[in-house]
Chain A
Amino acid sequence: MASSFPFPHRTPVRSSFSVGLLILIVFAFIPAIAVVVVSFTDLKGLPGLPVHWIGWENYQDYFGKGHRADNLNAFKNTLIFAGLSTLAQIGLALLVALLLNRPLKGRDFYRSVVFMPTVLGVTVTALIWSLMFNTSGGPAHSVLALFNSDSAFFGDPKIALYLVIFVQVWMVMGVSVIIFLAGLQAIPDDLYEVANIDGASPWQRFRYITVPMLAPSITANVLLGIVTAMQSYQLTYVLTGADKKATQVLSLQVYQQSFGAKSGTTLVQSQGYAASISMVQFLLVGTITFLTLWYLRKREAKL
């Protein structure tokens, strides 16, 4: 871009830009790139131990027989978590946004309530829902008791992951709702008026006006949802701990292999190995994001 530069000197531009860039490089990019390097070494958590270059050994280890059950499990959990929570989040958020887009009394208040959990944060959210699902007679427990049923909730490996997904959706849904509301407000009213004149049913108006006009918001929401869900582990960490097999996801594995001193079946406590898991995750997030973006863009064009 051959843009004209109106100011007398370029030095101040370059120097303040460089200060920002330098902080970013040192504290964000160097650690990120170092993950690639470390994944080829046997770096340990304790400082001062010698570090060796071990080539692809960590990756061979990761894909090898010894860790296969654990790694497949974490891989599967990550995909279930990201897939289900994104789908539920988008679906529910769309319904809620359609509802909150109607001219109802107190609409602004409802919107703020829906967005509130984002502000409360993971620890508060996790504690609220641990309390709701507490096994010594909490609300969820009481409801089940009405049907003569019982559950260990987060302690039950069969449903723990799905409960975490439920809490995740509760926590982050507000963001998607706000994005959808912005998209809905951008749709011109005339379109609906014309459709009314033509006698379109509510479903037809939704399918042929709302959905196509909302396509960019849907794309944004799906991408944001997938990227966040694949990288998020704070909620799982607080709700169930880092070492539960039922809710083990890739990010938690990275944490646990790097720093978790507690027993995990195949814990080797090597940061090099943890780095290789982080790389696997990075590639997975990248690939899935790319594929989703490609698919959604294609669909947007068709709608």
Chain B
Amino acid sequence: MSTVTGTDRGRPGNDALAAKPDKRLHKKRPPVGAYVCIALLMLFFLFPLAYLANTALKSGTEFIQDPVGLVTHPQWGNFAEAWRLGDFGAFVANTALYTVAGASIGTFIALVMGFPVARGYIRFVKLWNALFVFVLFLPNALMTQFQLLLKLDLYDTRLGYILMVGVGVGIGPLLFTGFVKSLPRELDEAAALDGVGYWRYLFSFVFPLAKPALATIFILQAVWIWNEIILATVLFADSSKWPIAAGLNAFKGTYSTNWSLLAAATLIVAAPLMVGYVFIQKFLVNGVVGAVKG
């Protein structure tokens, strides 16, 4: 092993191959080209955000005089102003409620339906699996969702909207059936033998074991819900019940010429998402990968 003199640092899975004699292609020099590409890539994704922050700190006149230059007199007051004018406090509370409640409903559906289907504890397994695929392709049903909530007296209510986004389960049930197959069936039998009932088994055994998968399902649906604006504008007559994405869009309509205020408002919405992203990133990235393999 020591004959290879560190020429192959950073090559993953190398130990298994170190015994092979052929190393002549491992000329190691710093991959300058790769880092240049990375720099361009980061610029492509981060420059818009930097420009947003820069604009958010400018005064209205400074933006008009020099829209692209670096900010000279940071106006922190823009954020307070945007917060006050946009009434974002209420919208943030709405979004938090819709996202948590909606994604909980969806995750619950994935759990109580996905588990028995994956195990074959319920009849017509094929039908249910087909149904889990069909939910991905449902037609655009804006008008019938609206009519249904009217009929149920749930139009312009928070409950109605939560139920509508809650059933937007997307890939959740499919993902969960895939996950359940990795849980050993013997566990069910052992628990049942010890006299554990089905519900207790599902909620105090499967639930903790499936936490990573359920967290992923929850987060994928949560992302979908906080992106949802059209359904919200259709199902609410009262705009004070809107989620923040719709609120921000309306704010854009009102203050479309005041770019620094608009940028401050956008940053107010974006900042908590970015902070949250740092924490949930692991689940999100794993989730997308799992969704494909499942």
**Chain A residues in the interface with B (C-beta under 8 A):** 1, 3-10, 12-14, 16-17, 19-21, 23-24, 26-32, 34-35, 38, 43, 45, 47, 96, 99, 102-104, 110-124, 127-132, 134, 136-139, 141-142, 170, 175, 178-179, 181-182, 189-190, 193, 196-197, 217, 220, 227, 231, 233-234, 237-238, 250-251, 254-255, 258-259, 271, 274-275, 278-279, 281-282, 285-286, 289
Given A17-B113, A35-B144, A99-B37, answer yes or no on A131-B262 (Cβ-Cβ < 8 Å): yes
Main secondary structure of the interface of A (DSSP, over half): helix
Shortest distance from the beta carbon of B103 to any chain A beta carbon, whole Å: 14
Known contacts A7-B188, A7-B192, then 20 further A-B pairs from the complex at CB < 8 Å, ordered by chain A residue: A23-B167, A24-B169, A29-B138, A35-B143, A103-B10, A123-B266, A131-B259, A131-B266, A170-B44, A179-B292, A189-B13, A190-B17, A196-B22, A227-B137, A231-B140, A233-B230, A255-B142, A259-B234, A271-B143, A274-B143
Binary A-proximity of B27-51 (CB < 8 A = 1, otherwise 0) = 0000100110110011011111101
- Cβ-defined contact, B12 with A196, below 8 A: no
Q: How far is the CB of B3 from chain A (nearest CB, A)?
A: 17
Show 12 A/B contacts (Cβ-Cβ < 8 Å), sorted by A: A3-B119, A20-B109, A20-B113, A24-B169, A99-B38, A112-B278, A114-B41, A122-B227, A123-B227, A127-B262, A131-B262, A281-B140
Residue contact A13 to B116, C-beta cutoff 8 Å: yes
Alpha-carbon distance between A225 and B246 when the two chains are bound, in angstroms: 25
Interface centre among B112, B191, B227 (most CB of A within 10 A): B227
Q: How far is the CA of A21 from the CA of B131 in the complex (A)?
A: 10
Which residues of chain B have C-beta atoms less than 8 A from A112's C-beta?
A: 277-278, 281, 285
Chain B: interface size category: 35 or more
CB of B11 closer than 8 Å to a CB of A: yes
Find out whether the CB atom of A34 lies under 8 angstroms from the CB atom of B273: no
Are B143 and A128 interface neighbours, CB within 8 A? no
Contact of A217 with B192 at beta-carbon distance under 8 Å, contacts A112-B277, A131-B55, A132-B51 already known: no
- Bound complex: CA A103 to CA B202 (Å): 41
Interface residue? B64 (CB, 8 A): yes
Knowing A20-B113, A121-B223, A233-B230 touch, does A31 contact B145 (C-beta < 8 A)? yes
A263 to chain B, nearest CB (A): 17
Q: A130, A182, A231, A238: which contacts B292 (Cβ < 8 A)?
A: A182
In the assembled complex, which residues on chain B have CB atoms less than 8 Å from the CB atom of A196?
A: 22, 25
Contact B248 A110 (CB under 8 A): no
Q: B249 and A197: CB pair below 8 A?
A: no
Residues of B within 8 A of A175 (CB): 288
Q: Is the beta-carbon distance between B163 and A23 smaller than 8 angstroms?
A: yes
Chain A residue numbers with a CB within 8 Å of B228 are 234
Highest count of chain B CB atoms <10 Å: which of A16, A47, A114, A278: A16
Could you say which of B13, B22, B121 contacts A3, with CB atoms under 8 Å apart?
Answer: B121
